[in-house]
Amino acid sequence: MSETAAAHDAPTSTGIDHKKLIMWLFLASDCMFFGTLISTHLLYRKLYPSGFTDAEGHQRFIQNLFNIELTSFSTFILLMSSFLMALAVSAMHKGEIKSFRRNVLGVIFFGLIFLGCQVFEFTHFYHQGLTIQNSVLGSTFYVLTGTHGTHVAIGVLWLILMYFYSFTGKLGGHTGALDVEVAGLYWHFVDIVWIIIFTAVYLVEYLGPNGFWGTGLPAVTK
């Protein structure tokens, strides 16, 4: 820990602000929650690698459904939103409210783009025949990515409220900076969860000719 941080210890028994400690405890519990969802998806991909059957009764594979360009774009957008959030927190610590507002607007905008990409992806998958009910893959995929999307939506709503609250003049000083930092922690957490989902759910499907999990079909022997 740096000397600057040591000089700013909160007057609590742990030296950590209660709001920040509570947020970290919540994020720790959310980490286990997402850990379970990601584990469930990966295990069921291993057990049922054959994809899903669409409305016409055709066997479909997830590798042919994913759009890596779109997912990469939304991943990049979320990473950059995290960067803007770090700048917003830094601005608030320095008492630069206008810079804070500018950066938070950027985070909100990027968050909405990410959500738009997810809505587009879900709609596309649904029209291709992947629903939450017709396969194990659909159930675990929609629950995992949908839960993450809900977290993003909550984060966007929180930041919109914080943006408007900043115009009341009450979002200032140490308390205001701490409130923004806590919101920032939540937003960064949403970003790190997506870092894992991007690799574990999307990228692994492109490994090898039939993806990491294969197609579940018997191997062709010559």
Partner 1 sequence: MSSSPEAAPSPEFLAEETRRYHHFITLALWLAVVTGAEIVLIFVPVSMPVVLTVLSLMSAGKFFAVILWFMHLIYDKRLLFWIFVAALALAFATFTALLALFSVDVLDPKWIS
- For partner 1, the binding residues (CB under 8 A) are 1-2, 4-5, 7-8, 10, 14-16, 20-21, 24-25, 27-29, 31-32, 34-36, 38-40, 42-43, 46-47, 68, 72, 75-76, 79-80, 82-83, 85-87, 90, 93-95, 172-175, 177-178, 181, 184-185, 188-189, 191-192, 195-196, 198-200, 203-204, 206-208, 212
Do 147 and 193 contact (CB within 8 A), yes or no?
no
Please state the closest distance from residue 25 (CB atom) to partner 1, in A.
6
Nearer to partner 1, 116 or 172 (CB): 172
Please state the closest distance from residue 57 (CB atom) to partner 1, in A.
28
Please state the closest distance from residue 55 (CB atom) to partner 1, in A.
30
Q: From CA 217, how far away is CA 50, in angstroms rounded?
A: 7
Nearer to partner 1, 8 or 127 (CB): 8
Please state the closest distance from residue 150 (CB atom) to partner 1, in A.
19
Do 117 and 74 contact (CB within 8 A), yes or no?
yes
Nearer to partner 1, 51 or 176 (CB): 176
Do 122 and 142 contact (CB within 8 A), yes or no?
yes
**Element at 78 (helix H, strand E):** helix 68-93
Please state the closest distance from residue 146 (CB atom) to partner 1, in A.
19
3-state secondary structure 4-36: HHHCCCCCCCCCCCHHHHHHHHHHHHHHHHHHH
Pairing type for strands 52-53 and 59-60 reads antiparallel
Nearer to partner 1, 52 or 194 (CB): 194
Nearer to partner 1, 95 or 116 (CB): 95
In sequence order, which residues have a C-beta less than 8 Å from that of residue 213 and are 6 or more positions away? 45, 46, 49, 204, 205
Do 194 and 78 contact (CB within 8 A), yes or no?
yes
